[in-house]
Every structure is written in structure tokens, then in C-alpha cells.
Amino acid sequence: MGRLGWGEHFGGLAARLGGAFGSDGAFAHDRLRFVDFVDDVEELLEEVARRERGDEEAADGFEEFVLRHYGG
């Protein structure tokens, strides 16, 4: 994201998604449902796309892609 010039948008990302990962870096399924996490990330990407491109649809399909490939 930094190479695209979007790095400043992700400075507070960890705080906004706090509790999603344990100290070992693994997703914390006991604290947050994966589908809720993916939805939150898609909303953040839509916000960045809206600010940078004026069109949040640039992030469309993210949630479906991730859930189809990693949701099990």
C-alpha cells in the first residue's frame, strides 16, 4: 500500500481491527468471527477507495473473494 501512496491510510488500521490477532499473529477466532473481520476490512478498503478514487466500488468483491478462498 505504501508503494501506491496509500500508506498513510493504514496507520490506525491495527487499532481499528484490534483484537483480531493474537500475540502469535494467528487470527483470534475466539474473539471475533472471521466473516465479521473480513466485513470490517472491506469497509476500511471502501473508505480508502472513496478517498483516493472517489469510488468505493474499487473494493467491491473483496469480501466475497476472501470468504470463497479462505472461509472454508
Whether residue 34 is contained in a domain is answered as: yes
Angle at which helices 34-53 and 62-70 pack, to 10 degrees?
Answer: 150
Q: Give 15-60 pLDDT, tens digit per residue.
A: 667 678 888 888 888 888 888 888 888 888 888 788 877 877 877 8
DSSP state of 11: T
Whether residue 39 is contained in a domain is answered as: yes
63-68 average pLDDT score = 88
Whether residue 49 is contained in a domain is answered as: yes
Residue 15: per-residue pLDDT: 65
The total of structural domains in the chain comes to 1
Residue 7: per-residue pLDDT: 66
Q: Exposure pattern of 7-38 as b/e (b: 16+ CB <10 Å)?
A: eebeeeeeeeeeebeeeeeeeeeeebebeebb
Partners of residue 21 on adjacent β-strands: 27
**Is residue 18 classed as helix, strand or coil in its secondary structure?**
coil
* Residue range of the domain that includes 64: 11-71
